[in-house]
Structure 1
Amino acid sequence: MKKIILASILALTTQLALADTKAATVDPEFAKIEAMVKAKNMTGAYQALSKLAATGNAQAIYNLGYLTQTGQGTAKDEKKAIQLYEQAGAKGYPVANYVLGKNYATGTLGLKQDPAKAKQYLERASSAGFDDATIDYAILLFAENNPQSDKLALTKLDPLIKKGFYPAIHAKALYDISTGFKTKNDKPVQQGLNSIQDLAKKGYIPALMAVGNMFVNGNIIPQNLPEAKKIFAALAQENVPQAKESLATVDKLIAEQAKAPKASAKKS
């Protein structure tokens, strides 16, 4: 598996997105911009990026879009940010196409939700070798719920699964479980469950969240709220998104179950 590093110097600092790139291909000018970002000189970084973007540098255009989106070094303007992402994407910068695809999929950043456009942008990023885009593209294909889309999604995921890419293994596992329930076939359900549990043992956060939810719901494995609480509590300490909300839900369920026997005793 290729080493995953941040798509750009600014993305490295802001934790915005990941891409398969090589440090040696990064324009030396970005070293200066990185220093500005670390020094919290966002105005200087914006101005330097603007000059670099004017030369047609797709990476600079993308990062200029991010600063514009977040209002760092310039006025916040999501509409302008989208335009910059589109410019960078048109030049083949995969992270820009990935960001556009994600936002069209969710209907965020001022864009109207549009699965067709989302697939278009994600497919571009995927074809450029951006593995995270391949995962999201496959998930959108699975959501179409038809054999042709499922086949294409599985074809896209297969090379990533073979090289041990956790998100691809996880996406396939969830597909297997869903398919098993739909066809009332325990084999794919167990296959998917085994994959997710294996990823969870390796510390893969989405798999840990999935196992925690399974312990809460009790549909695939027996309900075990104390075990779910352990998982969500550990993830909450790491500030994993939604872990705190899930932990609160589990605590509420545990409290309700504790009250239930008392209520039954009073009735009897």
Structure 2
Amino acid sequence: MKKIILFEMIFIFCFGIAFPQTRNQKTKVVTKQNVQKEPDAKLLYDQACDFYNGTNGKFMDREKAISLYKQSADMGYSVAQYELGRLYVKSLIEKKDIIYITEEEALDYLKKSAKQNNPKALYALFTIYYEGLIVPQDYSIAIYWLRLGADLEDPACIFSLGLEYQIGKMVEIDDQKAFYLIKKAANLNYVDAYEMVGNCYLHGWGVEKNINEAKQWFRKGAEKDDSGCQAALADYYIELEDDYEQAYYWYRKSAEQGDSYAQLKTGAYYATGYKGCVEKDINEAIKWYRKSADQGNTDAQYRLAEYIKMDNPNEAFYWYKKAYEKGNLNAGAELGIMLFLGKGCVKDVKKSVEILQELSEKGVTRAIAVYGKMLIDGIPGILKKNKAKGNALLQSVQDINGNIRN
């Protein structure tokens, strides 16, 4: 089943979204100046968006856009305050689109927006302190902002707080409380929570196991085009109902939305013509493996390399190396072999032996077999011949293969 990562914060901000101002209902004295202030700030914000994005007949002028955002923000417009902070952090992450404000200003604007109960700003501050993006990492401050957002019934904050109760970085683990919060976010129509609600029911995390309820939540999210739910529903069909056609349908839907895990599974269907659901098509398999590999999926990187190594050894070496650097040990074994042969790379026998010896000690079957043969033959100046150890390694591989066949 698709591996579920309980808590991996993704720092994503929406573009050009305006949030309603939080206004002081106790203030009853309205002056002409106050009446004009908010519309002017909103107008400046809209103009800033146009200059930043080059829309509505405006030429793109990022410096002017930031100037207009600042004017709007300094008038107290929460949306502009948030946008300035968002753009600054985004520029740091992507290392482009220089923002003409300081780090201190960005943080100050986000805090001002948060004080007006802007949930996006609260969530942004939580993420900044949680990840240590422009400030030192501080979980105590991060959870402070997250709880404020959850108290405002913001579903993203509620969901993230629920996830935190599952892993316990900032609070003590409490599976029941985690489920309560995650389910609450889902009941507020926060689609990102649907998959985790389904998994809670599927695995009995904080709630009694209920397979049918899990399926319903996966399907509910899948029908709302949530790629995670689509992939989870596909896993459900394969593992619990042996319905490979339905599984393929949902993997493909998820893959088309860019889910790297679903792209890997879709590639596997085409690689084998799995259960007759699709015709075997290696080119189509390679296409989906490459899409997944480009997103960093190490299994896809390894499988892609396997299929292209005969025709394109240089690219295969690249993908084996990428996968091995991220912990895929089978890819490491193939990398060691290519280094030994000088195939798709500059030959480096010493490095090859080092990799294969290490992986052999970690129990990687392919590495054990190759390293065992190296020991039997020996490599002058690099590896001393040791027939007894080499034969023992080869025998262990045969025993492993025999147990697998049995």
**TM-score, structure 2 length as denominator?**
0.47
From 121, 132, 149, give the equivalent of 2:192.
132
Aligned equivalent of 1:238: 295
What is the rounded CA distance, in whole Å, between the counterparts of 1:239 and 1:176 in structure 2? Answer: 26
What is the rounded CA distance, in whole Å, between the counterparts of 2:86 and 2:288 in structure 1? Answer: 36
Aligned equivalent of 2:236: 175
The change in CA–CA distance for 1:103 and 1:179 in structure 2 (over 3 A counts) is same
The change in CA–CA distance for 1:250 and 1:90 in structure 2 (over 3 A counts) is same
What is the rounded CA distance, in whole Å, between the counterparts of 1:171 and 1:28 in structure 2? Answer: 38
The more displaced of 118-127 and 153-162 is 153-162
Q: Which amino acid aligns with 1:25?
A: F
- Structure number with bigger Rg: 2
SS at match of 2:18: helix
From 83, 88, 108, give the equivalent of 1:31.
83
1:142-221 to structure 2, matched below 5 A, reads: 142-144=202-204, 149-180=210-241, 186=242, 188-197=243-252, 199-200=254-255, 203-210=258-265
SS at match of 2:292: helix
Q: Which amino acid aligns with 2:292?
A: L
SS at match of 1:25: coil
SS at match of 2:296: coil
1:27-63 CA-to-partner distances (Å, cap 9, x unmatched) read 2332333454442733212112222323333332222
The change in CA–CA distance for 1:50 and 1:101 in structure 2 (over 3 A counts) is same
What is the rounded CA distance, in whole Å, between the counterparts of 1:76 and 1:206 in structure 2? Answer: 30
What is the rounded CA distance, in whole Å, between the counterparts of 2:230 and 2:182 in structure 1? Answer: 19
Q: Which amino acid aligns with 1:28?
A: A
Aligned equivalent of 2:328: 248
The change in CA–CA distance for 1:177 and 1:81 in structure 2 (over 3 A counts) is same
The change in CA–CA distance for 1:140 and 1:209 in structure 2 (over 3 A counts) is farther
SS at match of 1:24: coil
Is 2:261–2:297's contact at 8 Å kept on the other side of the alignment?
no
Residue 16, structure 1, aligned to residue 11, structure 2: yes
The change in CA–CA distance for 1:47 and 1:199 in structure 2 (over 3 A counts) is closer
Please list every run of 5 or more consecutive structure 1 residues that lacks an aligned counterpart in the other structure.
Answer: 1-13, 181-185
From 58, 66, 77, give the equivalent of 2:138.
77
The change in CA–CA distance for 1:64 and 1:202 in structure 2 (over 3 A counts) is closer
1:86-124 CA-to-partner distances (Å, cap 9, x unmatched) read 11111011211222222323x153334432222122112
SS at match of 1:154: helix
Aligned equivalent of 1:47: 108
What is the rounded CA distance, in whole Å, between the counterparts of 1:166 and 1:98 in structure 2? Answer: 18
Cα shift at 1:78: 0.6
Cα shift at 1:249: 3.4
Is 1:17–1:95's contact at 8 Å kept on the other side of the alignment?
no
What is the rounded CA distance, in whole Å, between the counterparts of 1:247 and 1:208 in structure 2? Answer: 20
What is the rounded CA distance, in whole Å, between the counterparts of 1:88 and 1:71 in structure 2? Answer: 19
SS at match of 1:53: helix
What is the rounded CA distance, in whole Å, between the counterparts of 1:211 and 1:99 in structure 2? Answer: 30
Counting matched residue pairs gives 239
SS at match of 1:23: coil
What is the rounded CA distance, in whole Å, between the counterparts of 2:162 and 2:202 in structure 1? Answer: 16
What is the rounded CA distance, in whole Å, between the counterparts of 1:34 and 1:128 in structure 2? Answer: 25
* RMSD of aligned residue pairs (Cα, Å): 4.3
What is the rounded CA distance, in whole Å, between the counterparts of 2:84 and 2:257 in structure 1? Answer: 38
Q: Percent identity?
A: 18
Higher RCO, 1 vs 2 (CA within 8 Å, ≥6 residues apart): 1
The change in CA–CA distance for 1:100 and 1:54 in structure 2 (over 3 A counts) is same
1:159-178 CA-to-partner distances (Å, cap 9, x unmatched) read 33334433222111112222
1:230-263 CA-to-partner distances (Å, cap 9, x unmatched) read 8666534433477635883343576655958x86
Is 1:68–1:78's contact at 8 Å kept on the other side of the alignment?
yes
Please list every run of 5 or more consecutive structure 2 residues that lacks an aligned counterpart in the other structure.
Answer: 1-8, 21-78, 92-98, 276-281, 301-322, 338-364, 374-393, 399-406
From 79, 94, 101, give the equivalent of 2:162.
101
**TM-score, structure 1 length as denominator?**
0.67
The change in CA–CA distance for 1:234 and 1:153 in structure 2 (over 3 A counts) is closer
Cα shift at 1:135: 1.3
Is 2:162–2:177's contact at 8 Å kept on the other side of the alignment?
yes
